[in-house]
Amino acid sequence: MKRKLKEVVKVPLSVDERWDLIEKISKQTVEFGAYKHTLKDAIAELTVKPLTGIPVAIAVIYGFWSFFCDFAGTLFTDGFMVKIFDEHWLPWLQSFFLGGLGNPFYALMVDAGHIEDGVLVASDNCFEAFGVLTSGLFIVFGVVLWAVLAFYLIFAILEDIGYLPRLAVLVDTVLHKIGLHGYAIVPTFLSLGCNVPGVTATRPLETRKQRFMMMTLLAIFVPCGAQIGIMQELVPELMGWIFLTLAIGYLGFGFILNKIVLGKSPELIMDVPPYQMPTLRNIGRKLWIRTSRFLLVAVPFVLLGSIIVGLMYLTGAMDWLAAVFGPLLMVWFGVPSETVAPLIAGFLRKDLAVGVLGGLMAQGIMTTFQVFTSVVLLCIYFPCLATFALMLKEENWKEILGSFASLVAMVFVYGGLIHLIGIMLGVA
């Protein structure tokens, strides 16, 4: 009788044969008992059904944001770091560092000072001073570190509970309108911490079109945690408008890209994992790995970047660039020619760029609307060097060129549009 079973088997099996075999195996070994509706299931359903899920999502994001501002901004940066840096570190350096005001090396390392009524005066805060040891260190350790820490703490908890895939299900319908899948929420959220892991997270997307679109949108419209932290410190009252502008850009240009980029956006089937209790061990470890990786990249880049910007000011290169690009910036985007400095810094790091902008703001040469436009421009005009390098690795040169072309087009169209709206509202 057993002989009969020994038919000729072709290896590999066809898909159907394999499923057939699996069915036979599972019939023998797996027993499905009555399904109990647990509390976990009830919670899971509440967070996915639109009627209850959307309020929950809003609450989660609001909670995220409040914690981010309170913990990073108010508690650490304003509570401790600003006092330490402005009241102790800066005056201490100013009192003993070689050279003194007006000396080029002193200007580069500690305080460039600024002209007030024709006289060069010392700065009284670390945004304005613009030395490597003052602004450079303040940006990284005074502001951005805490923002990144706060972001990754909440993010790790949401990740380990398993909330993100549910958010993906909720926003799926909206994102499908722009040719993306709900899963896009994962790279987008990750990018809010740092664009680099965000770009890596585009890999599960199936087609080149989806990956291309996702990367382009991330690189342009999603500000990283470092940048958000410093924007929140500098212009907290504008944050709502900035995020709204970026979100409109993300959806609007996603819609356009979806129409003009060739290729398909197939459905991506994603598992929604069961909710789990996060473990302290895993949260702690993730927080440690991510924060240390951040510091490893941020510290050298911010310090190097502030040296480069400082040297460009000292050698007059910045003035030259401002003279060359000034007319374009003023006429098209409606921002002063000095904005060229933060834009240069932004090629290296966005947090540094916003910091440089902070220095300009302190000089009082910009209107609120110009500050707003500049901050948005800093977000969208170019991905930082680390993100750009990764994109080069991920895509071929054709896609990079495509990304770059859409980037340039978007910056000019969107930047110009913001200026235009400003003119019509009478604020620009």
Partner 1 sequence: MKILLMGHPNVGKSVFFNRLTGAKVFESNYPGTTVDFMKGWMRLEREDVELIDVPGAFSLEPKDRAEEVAVKMLEENRDSVVVCVLDASKVERGLYLALEIIERGYPVVVALNMWDVAEDKNIRIDVEKLERILGVPVVPTIAISGEGFKELVSKIKDAAPVKIEKIIESVGAVSAAASTGEAQAQGGGESAAVS
Sites of contact with partner 1 (CB under 8 A): 1-2, 5-6, 9, 11-13, 18-19, 21-36, 38, 40, 159-162, 164-165, 183, 186, 200-201, 203-206, 211, 270-271, 273-276, 278-279, 282, 285-286, 289
d(CA 99, CA 119): 18
3-state secondary structure of 276: coil
Closest distance between partner 1 and the C-beta of residue 411, in Å? 28
3-state secondary structure of 43: helix
Q: What are phi and psi of 151, to 5 degrees?
A: -60, -50
Q: What residue type is assigned to position 340 of the chain?
A: V
Closest distance between partner 1 and the C-beta of residue 141, in Å? 24
| Torsion angle in degrees (nearest 10) through CA of 311, 316, 318, 324 | -150
Q: What are phi and psi of 349, to 5 degrees?
A: -150, 140
Q: Considering beta carbons, is residue 93 or 190 the nearer one to partner 1? A: 190
Closest distance between partner 1 and the C-beta of residue 157, in Å? 10
Closest distance between partner 1 and the C-beta of residue 229, in Å? 22
Q: Considering beta carbons, is residue 19 or 92 the nearer one to partner 1? A: 19
Burial 264-292 (b: 16+ CB within 10 A, else e): ebeebeeeeeebeebeeeebeebbeebbe
| Cis ω before 12 (30° cut-off from 0) | yes
Q: Considering beta carbons, is residue 24 or 177 the nearer one to partner 1? A: 24
Is the separation of the CB atoms in 344 and 318 below 8 Å? Answer: yes
Q: Considering beta carbons, is residue 83 or 203 the nearer one to partner 1? A: 203
3-state secondary structure of 121: strand
Q: Considering beta carbons, is residue 259 or 393 the nearer one to partner 1? A: 393
What are residue 309's DSSP bridge partners? none
Q: Considering beta carbons, is residue 75 or 268 the nearer one to partner 1? A: 268
Closest distance between partner 1 and the C-beta of residue 277, in Å? 9
Closest distance between partner 1 and the C-beta of residue 276, in Å? 5
Q: Considering beta carbons, is residue 45 or 70 the nearer one to partner 1? A: 45
d(CA 171, CA 187): 13
User: Which tokens is 65 given?
Assistant: 């944001």
Closest distance between partner 1 and the C-beta of residue 171, in Å? 14
